Every structure is written in C-alpha cells, then in structure tokens.
Amino acid sequence: MVFEPTERLHLGAEAEVWKGTWFGRPAVRKQRRPRSWRHPNLDHRLGVRRMISEARLLIRTRKAGLSVPSVWDLDYEGGQLIIEHLNGRPLIDVLNDETTTAPRAESVLRKVGAAVRALHRMATTHGDLSSNNILIEDEEVHLIDFGLASVEYDVERFGIDLHVLDEILGASHPQWEGGIDWVIEGYLAAEDELGPPQVLQGGAVPTANEVHTRLVDIRTRVRYHG
C-alpha cells in the first residue's frame, strides 16, 4: 500500500483521514483509530467489520452509477482504506459562501435530494448526511464518508437519514430557511423520473413518498419529546 500523505482532512473518534497520493493518483486514506475503552480483540473485530462494510457499500454504489469514491485498496488488518479523492467543494462551504445566490442554493439542494434518493433506492442509508459529507462539483453531487452507511429496508432508517440533513441545514445554514424543502422536492422528483424502486434481494425499498411521510412523523416526534 503506497500512500503519500499531504494533508490531514479529519481527526475523528473512529478514524483519521488524510489526503495524499496513491501511486501518483489523488487519494484519501482512512486510518482506523483504536478505541482504548474497548477490549482490544473486540475493538479489532468491530473495526474490521466496519471497514469491510464501508468498502463493500462504496463498491456496490459505485457499480450502480452513483458518484461516490472508488475503492483502491483495503488493508483491514492494518485498519487502512484507500479511496479515490473526488473534486468538489463541501456543501457547507457552498451554502455559507456569500456569493451563493438563492437560485444556486435551490439548484444544488434539489440535486442533493436526487442523489440521496438514488442512494436510498439501493436500500442503502448513509448514516451521516451532514453538509461536510456532500461535495458539489459544478452540477454534480458526490456523496462521501460511508463509515456509518448500511443496507436497510425499514422506512424509519431512511426517514432518519433525511432528518439528519434536515437538522444540519437548520443548525448550520439558517440563512437558507426551508432548504430541506428543496432537498425533498429533488428527492421526490427523482422518483417521478425513475419510476417505482425495484424490489431487491432483501425486499422492497420504501417509496420516496413513504420516506417523506416518515420524515414528517419523525419531526413531529422530535418536537413533541424535545
């Protein structure tokens, strides 16, 4: 595994993420960090399981045509995952840029909604849909950081995925009030364009309308219990 680091992008509880090159190509290395409070054997098993799951989901979604990083190398014993570095600005930067106009923000967030729906139609939830994990490159949306992603068929999990983004937009980007509405419009429009989701090996994926309805329900519950 030949990776030359150039810049640390993120230091989290679970992993340290570096930008660099892999055999001369722009790449990202995700290095798993041990959790000292866990038994070492358990920590290793959980880390290996999560890293393999992340790699598999990236490969699966990439093959289906979604714009996610390619997996280039995996050393699960060493806790390292090497993936393609995708160009683009984090959504958080685009939305907080003073030069971003309302039409541009609407266009971007509609495309984000369509990208999330494309992911959901594969029975996959992202698990951490923050504006840091969505890259905008011209008119294209890239989804990154699949460390908490999973294969799901329960409508609740899809609703929670959107609710995370809803909360992030409200907390970090209040200047775009109602931004989640543009996301939902793009989410629903994608289904209108593509038609009903296919029944997959694990069962039927909830429709876009079902997920939207569940999101509304989750919002109500959060307000009630909050």
Catalytically annotated residues = 128
Question: Phi/psi at 44 (nearest 5 deg)?
Answer: -65, -45
Q: Could you give the CA distance from residue 66 to residue 124 in angstroms, rounded to a whole number?
A: 12
| Beta strand segments in 36-152, E | 71-75, 80-84, 89-90, 124-125, 134-137, 140-143, 150-151
Cα–Cα nearest to 159, from 167, 170, 171 = 167
Instruction: For residue 133, give Cα distances in angstroms to 34, 86, 90, 112, 146.
Output: 23, 12, 7, 11, 9
For the record, the structure tokens of 113 come out as 């909604």
Q: Could you give the CA distance from residue 149 to residue 55 in angstroms, rounded to a whole number?
A: 10
Query: Which value, to the nearest 10 degrees, does the dihedral of the CA atoms of residues 165, 90, 8, 84 take?
Result: 100
